[in-house]
């Protein structure tokens, strides 16, 4: 039986704010809409930045991508601070259980030595690559135009930091502080890591926020995550008795599946906007993904040896197919 | 199976170091200047970023966990508030003017702080500093969004909230706060930290936040007070970051002292002017008052600020230059400002009103040396005009200060009968100021402040003085959003709805 409580009913004067009514009509707005559309200052900016007087304080022209309305770059997850934080808190909870499961049952000590060594050599230096990703996404958030486009980049930057921290914990769990020291030395000096470090440092000097988005979130992470976490950890290492490692990196696997939907949506809308945008994106993605693939090859070799070449080649083909779906042909 | 090796026990500090600072490295394929291009031009010298003391040690997993708990509580309460017509529990609809000003002028500032902290979170070459700034960046978007969400329900029932995004960029009084945040964001990363991280978040935040949130609590506004409680622990983190930042700059090199002192002088005065809006709220806009602006200044300005500057004296820092002038202005500013708001109320997206006898008695008691002498006679005069059916309205354009953008309505620090007005001539143009503080700020960086967008002149230039067109442009609906509270739609609706909720009529 249903009982309807009686409440005092009064008629609202309006359903939403003017700027949302102009976009969506006078109907109740979602919290994503309220927290994201038109909340960045747009007009009558007072002063030019002293750090670069050629720019406006919020400047859509610092990228080669041109959008009639930057608020078209919607996040299909509709993340605003609250939904983002709740989603990550749930994943954090699962990750925490995974870490304590591995720890409490001594699974780290039961790993075959070769698997443990591969995991340490391959995964722990990646925490520095994740820090590079944090830098790039923080930059896109800081200098990109429109909250719809930039707020997910701040969330992404914090995720990148979280991933770098999970990888550090993995290093401490499988190999103690020496593992972190060794990984840093490898990142700085090891020959397998230099092409990737060079790639990351080259992205750190980009000042076009959209190119940084492509170089980091589309090209590098679009190849790195499926190669390292799906192919190597979940498939190869698990088959060698390393399921415990896969438990420790589950966050990264789930995270990539979730965030690529957002990355693809951004590409799709930006490419559909104009032929110019499509051509710019095509050039950027082609150049950066080719470089990313060759930078990742020696890293993948750490785990796959002679099969690395095929693995990277297959992944690149998958990547092209994925990008094709966004309307960009490579 | 090899033997189990005991792991090293890591202290919290060491563990945090490994989880954050150790992630960074010195670039070798690219020059450091290319990666961090903006960190040198302000002249601040940093010799060792490792000397940075992390003000708090929060890894992302704990951040997500703690923040999610707060988010769940916050949205549960504002959902209930909306569902149960919580807006009818406020003391009186006059209270809403404070909320309207907050949404139009302060929430956009939270968003600007979000962008600004994202920028400095990328530009500083120290990982510890970057991570702390990034966490503040994501917190600040939280604050902007939770404020909009908390006030969204009020917008459905009351006027003056609906065009906050248009008002932010176009209406005259929001440019006081907008120009403040634009000023900070157009500065270099170190000045930004002194402006927002230290002056605003540390020195002045209590004068904004505590009175505002206590005002909400006193006046039955569950939505806003919930936001306030929810933001409190974030604010505590931001304050420790601001303090660490100034200490770090001062400890790194003695040459930094004069630069930092100059910024403190500037940003104290900039912030003090923005707080003029808060003073009117405390003294005039709260139906149930928390404390007077004077009392708040005594606690949060004189006592807390005094202790802080005593603490910083060991670095050679002295209290900000405008401190004495601020003290002299305290007993006048809310009255002068509210008189201004009342006479220009045709152009505000909130209501103002003539204080009642009871209000004026309270003001006399709180301002024994100034209210009866200077301001009661003016309110009495205004009241007589209103009673005669010829309310006092000023459709003339206020002269705005080129720096703080407030109308030039204040008096000389040492003579409350003389209006204070300063002028500087720069490259053949005359610029007007409300005070010595604002004139000094201009004189130090004239190239910056000549760029300021002044909303009043543009009303004339772009709209030929057509007030109706101007109202459309700023999203102000004449006869609904503006004018005297007495007789307003907000007053009528609130009284009627409250009657429905509390009686059988």
Same domain? For B132 and B243 the reply is yes
Cα A299 from Cα A295, distance rounded (Å):
8
Domain assignment present for B396: no
Percent helix, percent strand, percent coil in chain A, to nearest 5: 75, 0, 25
Same domain? For B338 and B362 the reply is no
Domain boundaries, given as residue ranges, for chain A? 104-324
B155 pLDDT higher than 90: yes
Collapsing DSSP to helix, strand or coil, B187 comes out as coil
Domain assignment present for B473: no
Which residue in chain A has the smallest CA separation from B115?
Answer: A142
Cα–Cα distances in Å, from A167 out to A250, B20, B369?
Answer: 11, 12, 65
Mean pLDDT of B19-34: 97
Same domain? For B234 and B326 the reply is yes
Same domain? For B298 and B376 the reply is no
Residues of A in contact with B135 (CB under 8 A): 158
- Which of A242, A235, A236 is closest to A112 using CA atoms? A242
CB A245 within 8 A of CB A40: no
Same domain? For B304 and B372 the reply is no
Cα B246 from Cα B94, distance rounded (Å):
40
Collapsing DSSP to helix, strand or coil, A178 comes out as helix
Same domain? For B288 and B369 the reply is no
In degrees and rounded to multiples of 5, residue B425 shows phi and psi of -100, 130
Interval A26-73: pLDDT, tens: 999 999 999 999 999 999 999 999 999 999 999 999 999 999 999 999
- Which of B477, B482, B473, B470 is closest to B166 using CA atoms? B473
Structure tokens at B241: 């970051």
Residues of A in contact with B137 (CB under 8 A): 138, 141-142, 154
pTM over 0.95: yes
Which residue in chain A has the smallest CA separation from B141?
Answer: A81
Q: Do A165 and B108 touch (CB under 8 A)?
A: no
Same domain? For B301 and B330 the reply is yes
Identify the bridge partners of residue B431 per DSSP, sorted by sequence position.
B424
Residues of A in contact with B57 (CB under 8 A): none
Domain assignment present for B226: yes
Same domain? For B122 and B221 the reply is yes
Domain assignment present for B410: no
Domain assignment present for B476: no
Domain assignment present for B322: yes
Same domain? For B210 and B358 the reply is no
Radius of gyration of chain B, Cα coordinates, nearest whole angstrom:
24
Collapsing DSSP to helix, strand or coil, A207 comes out as coil
Residues of A in contact with B452 (CB under 8 A): 46-47
Cα B440 from Cα B422, distance rounded (Å):
10
Cα A198 from Cα A215, distance rounded (Å):
13
Per-residue pLDDT band at A1 (split at 50, 70, 90): low
Its domain, for residue B116, covers: 20-26+31-346
Element (H or E) spanning B109, and its range? helix B107-123
Q: What is the DSSP string of B322-359?
A: THHHHHHHTTTHHHHHHHHHHHTGGG-SS-B-PPPHHH
DSSP state of A205: T
Low-confidence winner among A54-63, A186-195, A273-282, B200-209 (lowest mean pLDDT):
B200-209
In degrees and rounded to multiples of 5, residue A145 shows phi and psi of -110, 130
Domain assignment present for B289: yes
From the list A57, A155, A202, which residue is nearest B29 (CB)? A202
Cα B175 from Cα A305, distance rounded (Å):
62
Same domain? For B367 and B241 the reply is no
Interval B60-73: pLDDT, tens: 999 999 999 999 99
Residues of B in contact with A58 (CB under 8 A): 115
Interval A234-259: pLDDT, tens: 999 999 999 999 999 999 999 999 99
Among B118, B129, B149, pick the best mutation site for testing chain A contact (most A Cβ within 10 A).
Answer: B118
pLDDT given at position B2: 47
Domain count within chain B = 2
From the list B1, B25, B170, which residue is nearest A109 (CB)? B1
Q: How many CA atoms lie within 13 A of B142 on its CB side?
A: 28
Cα A308 from Cα A302, distance rounded (Å):
9
Structure tokens at A213: 């988005």
Q: Do A39 and B85 touch (CB under 8 A)?
A: no
Q: Do B451 and A48 touch (CB under 8 A)?
A: yes
Which own/partner contact pairs does B359-364 have at CB distance under 8 Å and 24+ positions apart? B359/B284, B362/B289, B363/B283, B363/B335
Interval A186-221: pLDDT, tens: 999 999 999 999 999 999 999 999 999 999 999 999
The shortest C-alpha distance from B8 to chain A (Å) reads: 7
Residues of A in contact with B16 (CB under 8 A): none
3-state SS string for A82-141? HHHHHHHHHHHHHHHHHHHHHHHCCHHHHCCHHHHHHHHHHHCCHHHHHHHHHHHHHHHH
Among A51, A130, A148, pick the best mutation site for testing chain B contact (most B Cβ within 10 A).
Answer: A51
pLDDT given at position B212: 86
Give the number of beta-carbon pairs within 8 Å between A and B.
Answer: 254
A101 pLDDT higher than 80: yes
Interval B43-57: pLDDT, tens: 999 999 999 988 889
Q: What is the mean pLDDT of chain A?
A: 96
pLDDT given at position B362: 98
pLDDT given at position B397: 66
The shortest C-alpha distance from A104 to chain B (Å) reads: 13
From the list A15, A29, A201, which residue is nearest B27 (CB)? A201
Domain assignment present for B451: no
Residues of B in contact with A197 (CB under 8 A): 29
Same domain? For B312 and B358 the reply is no
Q: What value of ipTM does the predicted structure carry?
A: 0.97
Among A81, A169, A250, pick the best mutation site for testing chain B contact (most B Cβ within 10 A).
Answer: A81
Mean pLDDT of B411-427: 94
Q: Do A142 and B455 touch (CB under 8 A)?
A: no
Same domain? For B314 and B358 the reply is no
B237 pLDDT higher than 80: yes
Which residue in chain B has the smallest CA separation from A126?
Answer: B23
CATH number at A104-324: 1.10.620.20
Which residue in chain A has the smallest CA separation from B67?
Answer: A85
């Amino acid at each position: 039986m249903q009982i309807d409580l009686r409440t005092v009913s009064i008629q609202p004067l309006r359903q939403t704010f003017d700027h949302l009514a102009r976009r969506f009509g006078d109907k109740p707005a979602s919290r994503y809409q309220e927290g994201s559309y038109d909340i960045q200052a747009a007009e009558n900016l007072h002063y030019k930045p002293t750090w670069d007087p050629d720019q406006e304080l919020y400047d859509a022209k610092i990228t080669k991508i041109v959008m009639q309305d930057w608020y078209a770059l919607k996040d299909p997850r509709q993340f605003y601070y609250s939904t983002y934080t709740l989603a990550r808190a749930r994943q954090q909870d699962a990750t925490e259980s995974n870490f304590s499961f591995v720890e409490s049952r001594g699974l780290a000590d039961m790993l075959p030595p070769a698997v443990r060594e591969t995991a340490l050599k391959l995964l722990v230096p990646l925490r520095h690559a994740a820090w590079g990703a944090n830098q790039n996404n923080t930059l896109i958030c800081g200098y990109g135009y429109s909250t719809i486009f930039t707020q997910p980049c701040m969330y992404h930057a914090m995720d990148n930091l979280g991933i770098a921290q999970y990888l550090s914990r993995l290093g401490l769990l499988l190999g103690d502080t020496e593992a972190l020291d060794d990984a840093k030395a490898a990142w700085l000096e090891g020959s397998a890591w230099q092409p990737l470090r060079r790639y990351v440092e080259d992205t750190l000097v980009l000042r076009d926020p959209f190119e940084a988005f492509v170089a980091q979130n589309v090209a590098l992470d679009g190849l790195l995550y499926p190669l390292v976490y799906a192919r190597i950890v979940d498939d190869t290492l698990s088959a060698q008795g390393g399921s415990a490692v896969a438990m420790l990196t589950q966050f990264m696997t789930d995270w990539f599946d979730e965030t690529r939907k957002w990355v693809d949506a951004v590409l799709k809308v930006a490419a559909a906007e104009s032929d110019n945008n499509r051509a710019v994106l095509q050039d950027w993605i082609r150049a950066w993904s080719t470089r990313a693939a060759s930078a990742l090859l020696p890293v993948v070799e750490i785990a796959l040896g002679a099969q690395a070449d095929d693995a990277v080649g297959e992944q690149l083909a998958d990547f092209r197919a994925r990008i094709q779906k966004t309307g960009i042909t490579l | 199976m090899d033997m189990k090796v005991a792991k090293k026990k890591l202290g919290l500090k060491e563990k945090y170091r490994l989880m954050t600072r150790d992630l960074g490295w010195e670039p070798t394929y690219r020059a450091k200047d290319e990666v961090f291009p903006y960190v040198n031009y302000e002249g601040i010298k940093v010799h060792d970023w490792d000397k940075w003391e992390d003000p708090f040690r929060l890894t992302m997993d704990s951040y997500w966990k703690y923040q999610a708990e707060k988010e769940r509580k916050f949205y549960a309460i504002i959902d209930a508030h909306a569902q149960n017509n919580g807006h009818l529990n406020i003391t009186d609809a006059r209270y809403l003017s404070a909320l309207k000003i907050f949404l139009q002028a302060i929430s956009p500032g939270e968003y600007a702080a979000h962008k600004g902290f994202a920028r400095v979170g990328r530009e500083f070459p120290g990982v510890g500093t970057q991570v702390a700034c990034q966490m503040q960046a994501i917190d600040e978007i939280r604050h902007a969004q939770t404020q909009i969400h908390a006030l969204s329900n009020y917008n459905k029932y009351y006027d003056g909230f609906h065009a906050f995004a248009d008002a932010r960029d176009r209406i005259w009084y929001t440019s006081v706060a907008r120009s403040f945040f634009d000023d900070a964001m157009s500065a270099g990363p170190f000045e930004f930290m002194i402006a927002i991280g230290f002056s605003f978040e540390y020195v002045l935040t209590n004068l904004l936040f505590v009175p505002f949130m206590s005002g909400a609590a006193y006046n039955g506004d569950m939505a806003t007070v919930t936001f306030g409680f929810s933001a409190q622990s974030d604010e505590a983190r931001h304050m420790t970051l601001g303090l660490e930042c100034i200490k770090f700059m001062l400890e790194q090199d003695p040459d930094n002292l004069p630069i930092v002192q100059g910024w403190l002088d500037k940003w104290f005065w900039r912030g003090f002017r923005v707080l003029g809006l808060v003073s009117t709220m405390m003294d005039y806009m709260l139906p149930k008052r928390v404390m007077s602006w004077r009392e708040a200044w005594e606690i949060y300005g004189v006592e807390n600020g005094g202790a802080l500057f005593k603490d910083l004296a060991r670095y050679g820092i002295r209290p900000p230059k405008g401190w004495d002038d601020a003290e002299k202005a305290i007993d006048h500013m809310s009255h002068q400002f509210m008189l201004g708001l009342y006479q220009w109320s045709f152009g505000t997206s909130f209501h103002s009103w003539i204080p009642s006898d009871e209000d004026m008695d309270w003001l006399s008691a709180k301002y024994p040396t100034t209210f009866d002498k200077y301001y009661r006679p003016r309110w009495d005069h205004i009241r007589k005009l209103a009673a005669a059916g010829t309310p006092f309205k000023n459709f003339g354009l206020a002269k705005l200060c080129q720096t703080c953008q407030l109308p030039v309505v204040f008096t000389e620090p040492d003579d409350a009968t003389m209006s204070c007005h300063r002028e500087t001539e720069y490259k053949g143009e005359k610029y007007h100021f409300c005070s010595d503080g604002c004139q000094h700020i201009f004189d130090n960086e004239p190239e910056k402040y000549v760029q300021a967008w002044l909303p009043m002149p543009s009303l004339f230039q772009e709209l030929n003085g057509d007030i109706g067109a101007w109202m459309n442009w700023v999203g102000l609906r004449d006869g609904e959003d503006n004018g005297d509270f007495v007789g307003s739609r907000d007053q009528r609706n609130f009284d009627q709805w409250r009657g429905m909720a509390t009686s059988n009529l």
